[in-house]
Amino acid sequence: MKTAVRQIGHVTVMDVSGKITIGEGDVVLRNKFIELLETGNKHVLLNLEKVSYMDSAGIGELVACYKRAKDKDGTVKLLNPSGKVYDLLQLTKLEDVFETYEDEKEALVSFDK
């Protein structure tokens, strides 16, 4: 799994690609997310468009990111979860927890509401 970070205004966009799985992807996601929070980035948009697969550890890490951000008065939203990832979000009912967007501009504006 790989990440790239972009700053757009007060929102940090983390572009994630590859697989978020136990022992590798979940650790990378956790470490990068904690680093963002520790450097004052409270509003994070996770771009999951290029995530090809996510297992239960990946789902757990998404929930942990959500909790970490909330504990620091921050926000995490999801952008473009791919077909299989979106199906997993629906199956686990996390689509009701995370605000999910298909359009980056719309997602960025949502942080100002």
Report the number of distinct structural domains present in the chain: 1
CATH of the domain at 97: 3.30.750.24
The pLDDT, as a whole number, for residue 24 is 83
The pair of structure tokens assigned to 113 is 């509401």
**CA 11 to CA 41: how far, in whole Å?**
7
pLDDT tens, position by position, for the chain (113 residues)?
999 999 999 999 999 999 999 988 899 999 999 999 999 999 999 999 999 999 999 999 999 999 999 999 999 999 999 889 999 999 999 999 999 999 999 999 999 97
The pLDDT, as a whole number, for residue 41 is 96
Residue-number span of the structural domain to which 56 is assigned: 2-110
